[in-house]
Amino acid sequence: MSSTRIRRWGIIVLVILNFGCDQISKNVVRKEVSPNDYIQVVGDSFILTNVENSGAMLGFGQNFPPILKIALFQVLPIMVLLVLLYRILKKKEMNLWLIVGFAFVIGGGIGNLVDRIAYGSVTDFFQIKLGFLKTGIFNMADVSVTSGVLLLLLLSFRKDKPVI
């Protein structure tokens, strides 16, 4: 098997792993955690809940008209994710860490996109409270996307820029 083929399979596996972790965790929460439960996992610092978000991050756009929601939260993400996936699959010379960052973004993006299409909302269930720091309620897809974006940002600050 050629190195290009191995690389492409590696990308697909990373995307599927991110997507799979997200979907499995959301299915468990939907089945095992009642809506709006407040379960203290680690004191009051790590909370498990079950909230449906019909908007984007932190509820942005929940009150948008349905056609605008479909355009912004389904059609546009499908196009962006397909272009990203196509580009990283076709690019022959790409830094491994860039591939990982993009694969995390794509896998997480697909996870939330599937929820929006299948359920009309995204299941969020984690919240972290550490002193004055308090996150919004999020899910594993959000963790994947955020991790991928942070990795890509970190790479963009390097002196020796990776090949894109």
Domains of the chain: which residue ranges?
Answer: 3-34+49-124+140-156
Cα radius of gyration (the chain): 17
Q: What is the DSSP string of 33-100?
A: S-TT--EEEETTTEEEEEEEESSSGGGTTTTS-HHHHHIIIIIHHHHHHHHHHHHHHH-SS--HHHHH
Confidence of residue 164 (pLDDT cuts 50, 70, 90): low
Selected catalytic residue, list 22, 44, 115, 124: 124
At 40-95, the pLDDT tens digits run 999 889 999 999 988 777 667 778 888 888 888 899 999 999 999 999 999 888 88
160 is catalytic: no
124 is catalytic: yes
Single-letter code of the amino acid located at 140: M
Whether pTM > 0.85 for this model: the answer is yes
Selected catalytic residue, list 37, 44, 115, 142: 142
